[in-house]
Amino acid sequence: MRIRWNCVFCQGRAAKDMDEKVGVEITSEEHIAIIAFKATSISCVEKIAAAATEIEEFIEQNRPKRVIFDFGGVKFFSSQVLGLLLNIRDQVQKDEGEVVISAINPQLHRVFKITSLEKVFRFFPDKESAVKAIKTS
């Protein structure tokens, strides 16, 4: 399943931001959902809210036991993304599942350290290692 959205409220952003399509791609296998962000910058409130709705609906309909958020290529995100991650984590934990994070760059990982969220999520260097680790846990 591929989910893409465009935000009418972001029309005034820099040309670089306007040219880049923001979206997520959700794939699923063996009760593992992989949610990959497809933009280098995730900051538009409307786009994040739209993504949250789509991801929450996917989680509700498919009830994966494990969710991997793949941040490969993401260089910036707003604090609203942290809220999205925590909300999805709460939703997945209702079914005794887990949310993990893969391929996050060191600068963004610092945000998790500063907010003490590195204690809440497990981190993996890439999607493949995350899949391998959660399949064995």
Q: What CATH number is attached to the domain comprising 127?
A: 3.30.750.24
Instruction: Assess if residue 99 is contained within a domain.
Output: yes
- For the stretch 12-34, pLDDT in tens is 444 344 434 458 999 998 889 99
Segments in the chain below pLDDT 50: 1-9, 11-21
pLDDT, position 47: 87
- Joined together, the tokens standing for residue 25 give 């791609």
Q: What percent of the chain has pLDDT over 70?
A: 84
Instruction: Assess if residue 36 is contained within a domain.
Output: yes
Reported in sequence order, the residue ranges of 41-93 that DSSP labels E, i.e. its strands, are: 41-42, 66-70, 76-77
Expressed as residue numbers, the domain containing 45 is 23-135
Count of domains in the chain?
Answer: 1
Instruction: Assess if residue 121 is contained within a domain.
Output: yes
Residues 6+ apart with CB under 8 A from 64: 28, 31, 32, 33, 92, 97
